[in-house]
Structure 1
Amino acid sequence: MKTPSRMEPLIEEGLIDSVVCEIMSGKEAMLYVVKCGEEYRCAKVYKEKQKRNFRQNSCYLEGREINSRRRSRFVRSSSNFVKTIRDDAWHSVEVDTLGRLTTANVVIPKFYNFFEGVLLMELIVDSNGSVAPRLNQLELTADQARIYHGFLIQQVVRMLCSGIVHGDLSEYNVLIGNTGPVIIDFPQAVHAAYNNSAEAILKRDVKNIAAFLGKFAPELAYTDYGSEIWSLYQTGKLHLNVNLTGQIELCRKPVNLDVVLSAINIAIKKETAWRRYKSERWTSERRWQCS
């Protein structure tokens, strides 16, 4: 096939020899099979921002900024230059995450290189040597669904133990290779400890997998591994060999309304006093300026 313009720099640098074919075009990137010596690899070409379909990315950005007021204001500004910086950072998230999860032994494609907005990684194939299908393309038996679900939950735990939440985990981001499921696509990955949306994002990831595999093994749709995993993580009890049940015990202890109302009243009084202080200070400053 004709070499896409975005791939030409990689050929010039000797990182790939040729482009074999296009695999697919997704919301964030286009995927190609490329030849590197005697090996076939996958090249992920990130789309330019204006050509993407994925827009709702604000909740993923939290925790990726340096803890500096000046830096934060800089990153949040709307200049084209800063938008370019943020766009490049978005690309690097997947690269950084792949490296971190490889160290944590999460089952993901092997990373080779990242150059000029193109990510080179392992080509996942099925038992016939063809490009591996996505999980959503398969019809499964109930036993297969249970096995895949158990394996993917283990991978979610392994990722969270290394501080990472996938951010977009679903049947569309899992390949079924010749050795089993392989998790892909990490541009939306978040750091669990620095993102206030991490809990909701993780629970959504787990729910997505349970909902799809629950079509083949209905009992999976009624599990709540997401809440259980996050509860263990919050209390420092999550580890690689944790025994999960898929259920979480709800707190049945009655709420002490007097304590709750008292806390609310104290907060209201503090806020009222602060507002009064600011108002009096502003009035005093105005009088001083006019005198």
Structure 2
Amino acid sequence: MARKSDFSESFQAIKGRKSKNSRVFSDEDQARFEEMRTQFDEMPQDDGPPAGDRWSIWWDSEPLQRGPEPRPDWVITDHGAVDYELGVLKTGKEADVFLIERAVPGTGRAVILASKRYRSAEHTQFNRAGDYMAGRGAKRSRDARAMAKRTTFGLEQAAGRWAAAEFDALKTMYNAGVPVPYPVQILGREVLMEFIGDGRTAAPRLAETKPDEVELESLWEQAAEALRRMTELGFAHGDLSPYNTVVHDGRLVVLDLPQVVDLYANPLGFDFLTRDVENLGSWFTARGIAREEVEDLQAELKALAAMP
């Protein structure tokens, strides 16, 4: 197939010639030019994928912007992979979650992913960012000034920091054994992660489940262990509740980590930890877990974090 550059070179050659009567184009040259222009206009104008809505963005991310190794077998890294947009999974204050299918055409290999896309800062509905961001210093003073002044650049930097905070938290917690989705990659304000559910149906929130006595005890033990591991890492979730934990095949999974709080750098860190335990513990005590177990967990985590 002829390249666009071939037509451009031919056109320049014709343009550079002049006939004896000083016309820029002879009739023959004009006819050839019109033919080439028609062929040029009919050539494909983009490099889109043969299927899907976009090429996989896996290779657009830098190595540190991809999930930790060893990666699960289901992660698709092929150069020829494409992404299909399957629709909105849920909307939130600072981001919307979409369902993505990443597939390799012609192979039958495909995986469903959750794509969390953070809104630009001027469109977020989250108004308490300052409490969570305390202790997270911007690496460059220029970025800090721009965010403080809420310039266009600063607003974009702020939105990107939420996405980066969640991706980094997911990597850290996944590696430490906290039950969170596997973080696949981050690119700009989009975080791709493991989809927790069956087929295209998301796992139910903890608040939507009706566990029996045995299941309730198991879920409480899992919740307590997740809180222990986060505390050992020096973090509080910051907004833990029955609405951002889900249950899949009897396993409790923690979601929504952009506001993760450093227990020691954030002046409100221990307050957030106490609130996390209370918010989640209240749901369990309302269904049969003894209040003493929640209080014991609070005391255990305080000691673990060396809280006064």
Tell me, yes or no, whether TM beats 0.5.
yes
Cα deviation, residue 196, structure 1: 1.3
User: Aligned to 1:89, which of 148, 151, 161?
Assistant: 161
CA distance in structure 1 between the partners assigned to 2:91 and 2:148 by the alignment: 31
Q: Report the counterpart of residue 218 of structure 2 in structure 1.
A: 147
Q: Is the 8 A contact 1:110 1:121 kept in 2?
A: yes
CA distance in structure 2 between the partners assigned to 1:131 and 1:35 by the alignment: 14
Q: Which has the higher helix share?
A: 1
Q: Is the 8 A contact 2:120 2:156 kept in 1?
A: no
Is the counterpart of residue 164 in structure 1 residue 235 in structure 2? yes
Cα deviation, residue 36, structure 1: 0.7
CA distance in structure 2 between the partners assigned to 1:48 and 1:142 by the alignment: 44
Cα deviation, residue 112, structure 1: 0.7
CA distance in structure 2 between the partners assigned to 1:73 and 1:29 by the alignment: 22
Q: Report the counterpart of residue 21 of structure 1 in structure 2.
A: 87
User: Aligned to 2:290, which of 219, 226, 233?
Assistant: 219
- Quick check: 181-190 or 111-120, which moved more? 111-120
Q: Unaligned 5+ residue runs, structure 2?
A: 1-52, 59-81, 104-109
Q: Is the 8 A contact 1:75 1:86 kept in 2?
A: no
Cα deviation, residue 208, structure 1: 0.7
Q: How many pairs align?
A: 226
Q: Report the counterpart of residue 62 of structure 1 in structure 2.
A: 134
Amino acid at match of 2:97: L
Q: Report the counterpart of residue 11 of structure 1 in structure 2.
A: 54
Query: Cα deviations across residues 101-132 of structure 1 (Å, max 9, x unaligned)?
Result: 11211111011111131111111115x87321
> What RMSD in Å do the two structures reach over aligned CA positions?
2.8
Q: Please identify the structure whose Cα radius of gyration is greater.
A: 2
Is the counterpart of residue 180 in structure 1 residue 248 in structure 2? no
CA distance in structure 2 between the partners assigned to 1:22 and 1:41 by the alignment: 12
- Give the secondary structure class of the aligned counterpart of 1:171: coil
Is the counterpart of residue 36 in structure 1 residue 102 in structure 2? yes
Distance 1:114 1:146, change over 3 A: same
User: Aligned to 2:262, which of 179, 191, 198?
Assistant: 191
Is the counterpart of residue 230 in structure 1 residue 302 in structure 2? yes
- Quick check: 23-32 or 105-114, which moved more? 23-32
Q: Is the 8 A contact 2:118 2:159 kept in 1?
A: no
- Give the secondary structure class of the aligned counterpart of 2:137: coil
Distance 1:67 1:213, change over 3 A: same
Amino acid at match of 1:98: L
Distance 1:223 1:83, change over 3 A: same
Q: Is the 8 A contact 2:132 2:261 kept in 1?
A: yes
Q: Unaligned 5+ residue runs, structure 1?
A: 1-9, 237-291
Is the counterpart of residue 115 in structure 1 residue 173 in structure 2? no
Amino acid at match of 1:41: L
Distance 1:71 1:150, change over 3 A: farther
Cα deviation, residue 184, structure 1: 0.8
